[in-house]
Structures are given as C-alpha cells and as structure tokens.
Amino acid sequence: MTRMDETTKAADSGVTDTLTTPEEWRGFLERYDERYMKNEASDQELADLLDEDEWDLLEEEGRLEQWLGEAPSSEEELAAAEERLGVRFPPSLRGFFLASNGWKRVKGWVDLVRPCGEVAWMRDGDAGSSVIRIYGEDPANDDYVQLFRRSIEVAGGDDFWLLDPTSAGPDGEWAAYLFAPKYGDLQEFSSFSALFHDGYEDMD
C-alpha cells in the first residue's frame, strides 16, 4: 500500500505573467530548448539533433538557430481534442498547443508533453489507472485519488503532469500538478504555464 505525502505548493518562481499566446510560448520554448540542450541533453541526443556548426554555436553562445519543437496544432485539432474530453482547455495549454503540438525534451522524469490528440483523463490510461488502483488501497489517500480521477494527464513518464478542470481561477487557468508516484509527492502549481516554467528554472 502506498501513502501520499501532503500536497506542496510550488515556490514562487518570480514569474508574474502566464504564457497564453502562441507567440509567447514560441519564445519561451526556444529558450527552454537552449537551456535543456546545453545543460541536460546527452552527447548522443545532441548528435542526433544538431550538426557540427549548430553544436558549436550552442557550446560557444548558448543558443540554437533552428526550431526543435513540433509543428503547431490547428484550431480544428484543438477543438476535436476538447470535444473528445468534454472540456475547453485553459488559455496557457491552448497557447502551448498552438505553438508546438507536444514537446519531447522535458526536464525531470517526464518523457514528453503529449500532443493535444493524445491528452486524456488520467483514469483512462494504463499507467494512470494503475496508480489510482494502488493509491486507492489506502483510505487516507482518498482526496488524492479523487484528484487523479478528475484530472487530465498532459505529460507522462515516471512522473505525471496533471491539470484539474474543476479548479479554475478567475483567469480560466486550471490548477496543475507534478505527481511523482515513486515518492508519493504531489506539487501544485497555479497553471500549466507555471508547471512548465518550474522545469525551466530547475535547469538554471
């Protein structure tokens, strides 16, 4: 049986503006990728993505010239995903998808941020339903299990990125969570944008 630790609120990162437009996200993701490639990527990952000149530019100036993200989602793809799930995504998540429909290089124990067509309820995924079953064995975890059942999983791997559509702020943003099943840690953020930015700050 697994017991959940108390949910922790994310520390204030100093970010005051939530990223909501594709243009804001594009600029942030370019900076995110530069920091990730410089500080986190393996030599093999760099060799697979960059030619010699691009690698030299990254090492010498800490910047990338090419876009390594995904193609943007269309409004039609977003609308189809929202209709499938029965929700309208919060502004920061919509802006992200309209800049890059998914993201493959993520700090920490998350494999990727899913494209909008693969975003699903945590309860419907194999990994998510397994976590819900295991954590549900302890009645003390009921609040967390209920959160998992009503949350959308936007990124997965060893850890999960979750958004709770029942907890929306006045700006339309949903509460976001980083959940590490191995340790029972659940960290809360004010939005998808704040959750993504936390990984960026952690690479500094």
Query: What pLDDT score was predicted for residue 107?
Result: 76
- Digit-coded pLDDT (tens) for 46-85: 667 666 666 666 666 666 666 678 899 999 999 999 999 9
- Domains, the chain, in order of start with CATH, read 8-202 (3.40.1580.10)
pTM score above 0.75: yes
Query: What pLDDT score was predicted for residue 108?
Result: 77
Strands (E), 60-173: 110-113, 120-121, 152-157, 160-168
The predicted model gives 134-158 an average pLDDT of 94
Query: What pLDDT score was predicted for residue 44?
Result: 74
CA distance 112 to 192: 14
The predicted model gives 86-112 an average pLDDT of 92
The structure tokens 């010699």 sit at 52
**Residue that wins the pLDDT comparison between 158 and 11:** 158
Would you place residue 187 in the very low, low, confident or very high pLDDT band (cuts 50, 70, 90)?
very high
CA distance 189 to 163: 9
Would you place residue 194 in the very low, low, confident or very high pLDDT band (cuts 50, 70, 90)?
very high
- Digit-coded pLDDT (tens) for 162-178: 999 999 999 999 999 99
